[in-house]
Amino acid sequence: GDGTTDACACKSGYRAGTAAESCQDIDECGTDNGGCGAHVRCENSPGGFKCGGCQDGFTGDAASGCVDVDECQMLAPCDPRTQCTNTPGSFTCGACPNGYGGTGLAGCMDIDECLTNNGGCDVLTTCSNVVGGRSCSACPRSSSGCGRTRHGSSTPSARCPAWCDAGAPIPTATAARAS
């Protein structure tokens, strides 16, 4: 020979490869899903391919076509406190609302806001955990008369401004923790 290589013809489903490998498999599934159709599994094999069943999240068959499964309607996979959004072949769950920890998929659990910094309530009040938030008790009444502020300080508390004003309720609206 003259040092040139004659090109060999490859079988159907193969193409000419490198010098060390005369023919390489063509991945038919890598182009236009092998012609299998939208959302149909294309399975490459040496020298060929075949169309299989529907991809995950779709129902039907290769002949009649595959349609999206609405997991939100059929399975209700998300915590009821969150929004389920159907997507092609899947779904997403929204975030848990304020006052709840966890994920929309795994489940939302009430956070006990009172465990941290008395839930933001004044130190002279009682924090009570409620579902999705907390509430603070009323400021205590003074037993030592007007003019005396909490802890003997001359600076009033933000929530219980002065002992003589004690007994005024702290707003009882549930305060939810920001996520």
75-127 pLDDT per residue, tens: 999 999 999 999 999 999 999 999 999 999 999 999 999 999 888 888 878 89
pLDDT at 124: 79
pLDDT at 2: 43
pLDDT per residue as tens digits for the range 10-21: 888 888 777 656
Contact 134, 122 (CB under 8 A): no
The alpha helices in 8-147, defined as continuous H runs, are 71-74
pLDDT per residue as tens digits for the range 118-159: 888 888 788 999 988 999 888 776 544 333 334 444 444 555
pLDDT per residue as tens digits for the range 16-40: 777 656 788 889 898 898 888 889 9
pLDDT at 158: 52
User: How many Cα atoms sit within 13 Å of 29 on the Cβ side?
Assistant: 14
Q: Per-residue b/e over 100-110, b at no fewer than 16 CB within 10 Å?
A: bebebeebbee
Q: How many CB atoms lie within 10 A of CB 25?
A: 16
**Secondary structure E strands in the chain:** 14-16, 23-25, 40-45, 48-54, 58-61, 65-68, 84-87, 90-93, 100-103, 107-110, 127-130, 133-136
pLDDT per residue as tens digits for the range 45-85: 988 899 989 999 999 987 788 999 999 999 999 999 999 99
Question: What's the CA gap between 29 and 120, in Å, rounded?
Answer: 59
The alpha helices in 7-154, defined as continuous H runs, are 71-74
pLDDT at 139: 78
Q: How many CB atoms lie within 10 A of CB 7?
A: 8
